[in-house]
Structure 1
């Protein structure tokens, strides 16, 4: 605090009924000096703590479980309809309003896009006309099979969610949750995850401005999956152009942005259909990720988009279905893939966008300018969810999506 402004600061704190007191002043001694009733009772040199703190170099060892983790085949005959029904009712997918509806999410009536609306949330800044967008994310299964790439993917995912609102991702904070760091394998996970975050933030121009670490998270000697949670914040220059992530209007055209490959490593499909967390991590390509962000942000600035939703857990099928049930409008999608089950692939750097027919040409020009793959995959309308060989009545899918979590949580209450 600037000297002489003490009372002004105290007045602000007291206005909001917060405790406040003047406790000291900055000196040039290089020491922290503590006084009790005028008598010095402690003196600690600051330099050793701030600049000369000891370095703890813990041993690391690549976890034994990673040996052969990439060697897995998806060779069962499973219909896409069966897989969809199983994935869409999973706790990772369904609506969590049972939790967040118990709290005020309006932030002094400034919330533009709140919880449950898919992808990033947004609040307006009344004084500037701008909006802040936020998202927190981490796919722990990806971090389990490859901590470095999984942590990088968490940065990409949180940034992607922010970009889907039309905001430019700016910076992250993190919460690094791991097991016992005295275990060399856990320490290896931690070190690898930090490297992944560093590389992603550098390439995506989203610096780490703060964070915290939570260690020793284990039960009976078994640590949690490495969980480097990433919270991203971004800025939208126009609070009136916050992009929704669910379908908006009958007759609009749906596009897929980005490349879909047969990438099922640590996917929800593998977990549900095969009971395993294994495989090869999906490709991490920062250039493609930035191209996706920039395409959506620029198209939104030009008023060409009605909605944008990133493709993540459960692939195109689950992301598109969520857009439909949250928007309460049906969809019809037909997409050509190398393998029919690729509708559940979890390739990174993808999104589904909704465009009015008259804006399609202009939108495609924007996509071309950023050199990103795109294709028309369907349209909005009706009362059904139709995605290749997957069919579901919208009302039945909505019932599962909006009620399943509550049913599971309350069954033991």
Structure 2
């Protein structure tokens, strides 16, 4: 991968000026011809090999967002200007992670990112370093990481390659997160053939700090020192996330196309890095900080310099190496893990290095902030980079890619699941229920989540399979935050605009169901190739849908990630916008779990049930069908439902609550019964077809279990707010009984629900 390969002489700036016609491998490094011409125009000469390395990784799709920028602007333009979310925003889009005010002087930072392509090539390390990278983003904001989550998508559950990828990814997430001592409190696991050659490994991290501890990535103050600390730099991951994630996988019968080395993670080194960084922050030693993720030193130096007030000089030969044979270009492109870059005032350098030594973290002064506006990098005294850092970090290409609604979209939406044969008799409904709860997407995920430590640190209040993960922030007052991630690629394939709105609605509802007030959003937008007008249309529509929905619900997007080129040959994944919502709860002892725990509780269904089966779990499980229109989402109704769920939690009215989503009411009932080990007797409401009642995926609905003593207060609250609330049954016995239709003993239900994943992967 080294751009040095064209010449054995050191390619200095002077040499570049003297040899304008020298051939450089811009194409192999992922640059287009016009992009290379633009680099020459910016510099007024040909680039050196080192400069070419920097521009190629920083202008990659993964680092520069060159195809997505024009659509992402809507998150700023349409950002809510009033409401709790807007008032809470402390740091928004553009920094390493968003930060929101959660009260009592605390701030929370959270972000989700993708490590999709590396995880397909090398499942364990790809997933492990995905966790490592998102954790460093959180530390770099000044926060202590307190929890992780992992929204995952794999190919068909019974496909041989899924058996290769899934166990490695799960082991990587568990291995890295458990070694860090970071509880994994939620996420998703979805199987669909569309993810066969392109699994999605998205990782989310949450961190906590006091308001005064927020740090930003900028190199300010002439004479301040630039310190590289953490692991030594090796040859792993050269162009890894940056270039690997900016290309489509070729469909070449098992022969790897452009797939460079995947980064290798060391969680114990990362743990030391966390403690070392937080101690340096608390000693007030840091002016600016940046983690080294995708694009490594190229990214850290150019972004720190361009966000600061001056320039920067770096002595590249002072960088501590694991491999002494690395060329300057390879050092600049390496994505070796567990590295950070800090800007420190000269008189504080010794103290900073002392703290690093205490934590056994290698630290080296590699440069300093200058009063110019250039980023200059030297190798053994020779200048090999002389650029305006903004042109590397922030002024890359911006593409208005052509996009068009695909010609197959109409036929897909016209293929209505209403025509599919449905179960009618009690026996058929019972069989359909068992088929649903034992299908890979609806089955218990404990085979996966049991490999993660969910309760380390002692502040986990709720974790999978609850609607949202919840962490206590303040032991005295009980202040806490809840986070959920959701995204239904099947809905988004049918209508990407609505699919993005549905993803936000479900995440929002999941947070509210546990009693927390939704505040802010992070997103990971996973799509096919931006060079395909159909995939680009899906992306544009999803951005528009999410921006509109965030404005309507008052939940600003604080940051996130775009992952494009998720396709193999011509076959793209379903458009998969994954939306994370963070909410705040004043007292975690008031949270609402999903489990039916006590006999005699009354079960209410909130919201309206309509015949909505487009993209539904039932249509997939029973018929392998995807068509029609996704369920309609009414965001005003979602907001109202959230208010009721939060009030019921705060005022002690609800004993349990569970959102109704994939699989409908029967799936939600099965999960709440199994979690609490209690059965339920359910009556189909008058005028509703039993099949529609059980399997429809109408939105804006939740199950709530209410003590009899609270029934009048609860129903009065729902009536006063205009929320339909139907009493559909009672917690009772040791079976899920749909009266007059069928009975499913919990033992049988549990056996079917829990056997699927161990049977496939165990």
Shorter-chain TM range is over 0.9
**Match among 693, 710, 715 for residue 359 of structure 1:** 710
Question: Partner of 2:376 in structure 1?
Answer: 33
1:240 shift after superposition: 1.3
Give the alignment of 1:10-409 within 5 angstroms.
Answer: 17-24=360-367, 29-36=372-379, 41-49=384-392, 52-71=395-414, 72=416, 73-78=418-423, 79-116=428-465, 118-126=466-474, 129-336=478-685, 337-342=687-692, 343-388=694-739, 389-409=741-761
Post-superposition Cα deviations, 1:313-352, rounded to whole Å, max 9, x if no partner, equal 1100111111101111001111325322112000111100
Post-superposition Cα deviations, 1:175-205, rounded to whole Å, max 9, x if no partner, equal 2111122111111111111111111211122
CA distance in 1, matches of 2:470, 2:748: 29
CA distance in 2, matches of 1:252, 1:9: 58
Matched residue SS, 2:558: strand
Matched residue SS, 1:263: coil
CA distance in 2, matches of 1:106, 1:5: 38
Please identify, of 135-144 and 5-14, the stretch whose mean Cα deviation from structure 2 is larger: 5-14
Post-superposition Cα deviations, 1:63-100, rounded to whole Å, max 9, x if no partner, equal 22212223223352423222212111111111111112
1:13 shift after superposition: 5.3
Q: Is residue 138–residue 228 contact of structure 1 (8 Å, CA) maintained in 2?
A: yes
Length-normalised TM-score, structure 1: 0.92
Q: Decide whether aligned partners of structure 1 residues 152 and 14 sit closer, same or farther in structure 2, where only a CA change above 3 A counts.
A: farther
Matched residue SS, 1:283: coil
CA distance in 2, matches of 1:386, 1:19: 62
CA distance in 2, matches of 1:403, 1:140: 25
Q: Decide whether aligned partners of structure 1 residues 13 and 307 sit closer, same or farther in structure 2, where only a CA change above 3 A counts.
A: farther
CA distance in 2, matches of 1:209, 1:261: 34
Q: Decide whether aligned partners of structure 1 residues 153 and 16 sit closer, same or farther in structure 2, where only a CA change above 3 A counts.
A: farther
CA distance in 2, matches of 1:121, 1:96: 15
Q: Is residue 479–residue 588 contact of structure 2 (8 Å, CA) maintained in 1?
A: yes
Post-superposition Cα deviations, 1:220-264, rounded to whole Å, max 9, x if no partner, equal 421111111112221111121221011121001111111111111
Matched residue SS, 1:69: helix
Length-normalised TM-score, structure 2: 0.51
Report which of the two has the higher share of helix.
2
Q: Decide whether aligned partners of structure 1 residues 330 and 14 sit closer, same or farther in structure 2, where only a CA change above 3 A counts.
A: farther
Q: Decide whether aligned partners of structure 1 residues 67 and 324 sit closer, same or farther in structure 2, where only a CA change above 3 A counts.
A: same
Post-superposition Cα deviations, 1:360-390, rounded to whole Å, max 9, x if no partner, equal 1111232234322111111101001013524
1:299 shift after superposition: 1.2
Q: Which has the higher contact order (CA 8 A, sep 6+)?
A: 1
1:19 shift after superposition: 4.5
Matched residue SS, 1:70: helix
1:274 shift after superposition: 2.6
Q: Is residue 58–residue 184 contact of structure 1 (8 Å, CA) maintained in 2?
A: yes
Post-superposition Cα deviations, 1:276-315, rounded to whole Å, max 9, x if no partner, equal 1011221111101111111101111111111110000110
CA distance in 1, matches of 2:684, 2:350: 65
Post-superposition Cα deviations, 1:197-219, rounded to whole Å, max 9, x if no partner, equal 11121112222222112222223
1:271 shift after superposition: 1.4
CA distance in 2, matches of 1:14, 1:326: 48
Q: Decide whether aligned partners of structure 1 residues 150 and 41 sit closer, same or farther in structure 2, where only a CA change above 3 A counts.
A: same
CA distance in 2, matches of 1:11, 1:66: 61
CA distance in 2, matches of 1:310, 1:51: 41
Q: Is residue 434–residue 752 contact of structure 2 (8 Å, CA) maintained in 1?
A: no
Matched residue SS, 1:68: helix
Q: Decide whether aligned partners of structure 1 residues 407 and 12 sit closer, same or farther in structure 2, where only a CA change above 3 A counts.
A: farther
Q: Is residue 112–residue 121 contact of structure 1 (8 Å, CA) maintained in 2?
A: yes
Structure 2 unaligned segments of length 5 or more: list them: 1-285, 288-344
Please identify, of 147-156 and 368-377, the stretch whose mean Cα deviation from structure 2 is larger: 368-377
Bigger-Rg structure (1/2): 2
Q: Is residue 523–residue 578 contact of structure 2 (8 Å, CA) maintained in 1?
A: yes
CA distance in 1, matches of 2:380, 2:733: 76
CA distance in 2, matches of 1:253, 1:14: 60
Q: Decide whether aligned partners of structure 1 residues 153 and 21 sit closer, same or farther in structure 2, where only a CA change above 3 A counts.
A: farther
Matched residue SS, 2:744: strand
Q: Is residue 684–residue 690 contact of structure 2 (8 Å, CA) maintained in 1?
A: no
Matched residue SS, 1:126: coil
